[in-house]
Amino acid sequence: MTDYILQTEHIYKYFSGKRGKFSALEDINIALSKGECLGIVGESGSGKSTLARIVCCLEEPSEGKLFLENNDITNLTAKEQRKIYQKIQMVFQNPTDSFDPRCTLHAGISEGLKNLGRTQKEILPKIEALMDKCGLPAELGKRYPYEVSGGQCQRAALVRALAMEPEILVCDEITSNLDVSVQKQLMEFLQELKKTDKMSFLFICHDLALVQQFCDRVVIMQKGKIVEAGATEKIISMPETEYTKLLMDAAF
């Protein structure tokens, strides 16, 4: 087995609904190397977010296996899962909903560090430094999620994920709710993280232009299946499938 930091093997996910069993993911095989950024592109309902949740152990796959640093993490106990979260973190699509409306941003951000047994004295400077790095003033931590803008909230969510010092960051359409200027700022920050911290990214997005800027490789998904995968430049310059061509036409 090669030294991928994250790998999925024949992942299937079924949901049972009123109209019977329906398949959200079919035979998904992806692999992420250390320091690499893998883009996952596809239309709404193509299974991108389900894949992200499975990769973060928030949902169990119906079939298939998931490996983190060559260790099988498919069916872990709750206690083992909590250890995984020091290595893999996720930033959600809707920033305001990803913070508890009854807790301040600071309480939300520091929750992970508190669970790791860090004291307030250790937590406070660390969070302030990270917030500063993300362009957030420290006093914003005292506010509630609905008292800050979407962009500020998304950056706070990024701070929350980074506070755990993960090796892999799963970004689930993190720019879709942001305006263009904030989007640019956030992407520049992610670029910097990629370069300096050698962090690996699973970047889920439906904007091919962003993927081209940020990702080394890209996987195109449609109706729960991978239709095309390869180096970003190759896929963008020479798309093979009709669906990818369609996405390209829409983006550029």
Partner 1 sequence: MTGNIKLRKKLILLITLAVAIILICFFAPKLCPFDPYAQDLAKAMQSPNWHNLLGTDRYGRDILSRIIVGSRASVFSAFLLVTVITIFGSFMGVVCGWQGGKTDAVIMRISDVFLAFPGLVFALAVIGVLGGGMSNAIIALGVISWPKYARLARSLTLSTKNAPYIAAARLSGSNNRQIIYRHILPNISGPLVVTGVLDIGTMMMELAGLSFLGLGAQPPLAEWGSMMSEGRSMLQTTPWVVLSPGLAIFLTVFVFNLLGDTVRDYLDPKERHKISISKGEQVICKRKKSWRG
Query: Which residues of this protein are in contact with partner 1, per CB under 8 A?
Result: 53, 56, 58, 78-79, 81-82, 85-86, 89-90, 92-94, 97-103, 108, 111-112, 115-116, 144, 146-147, 157, 160-161, 164
Q: Nearest-5° angle of CA 127, CA 198, CA 92?
A: 55
Q: What are phi and psi of 7, to 5 degrees?
A: -145, 140
Give the distance from CA 40 to its chain's centroid. 10
Q: Which is nearer to partner 1, 47 or 108 (CB)?
A: 108
Q: Which is nearer to partner 1, 30 or 90 (CB)?
A: 90
For CA atoms 188, 186, 217, 83, give the dihedral sign: positive
**Smallest separation, CB 251 to partner 1 (Å):** 27
**Smallest separation, CB 1 to partner 1 (Å):** 26
**Smallest separation, CB 202 to partner 1 (Å):** 14
Q: Any long-range contacts for 235-243 (C-beta under 8 Å, 24+ apart)?
A: 236/208, 236/212
**Smallest separation, CB 161 to partner 1 (Å):** 8
**Smallest separation, CB 157 to partner 1 (Å):** 8
Q: Which is nearer to partner 1, 153 or 235 (CB)?
A: 153
| Tokens, residue 252 | 């550029």
Taking CA atoms, 237 is separated from 1, 48, 226, 240, 252, in Å, by 31, 23, 19, 10, 11
Q: What is the 3-state secondary structure (H, E, C) of 78-105?
A: HHHHHHHCCCEEEECCCCHHHCCCCCCH
Q: Which is nearer to partner 1, 200 or 232 (CB)?
A: 200
**Smallest separation, CB 73 to partner 1 (Å):** 14
Q: Which residues have CB under 8 Å from 100's CB, separation 6+?
A: 107, 108, 145
Q: Which is nearer to partner 1, 176 or 213 (CB)?
A: 176
Q: Which is nearer to partner 1, 47 or 166 (CB)?
A: 166
Q: In angstroms, rounded to a whole number, what is the distance separating the alpha carbons of residues 178 and 110?
A: 24
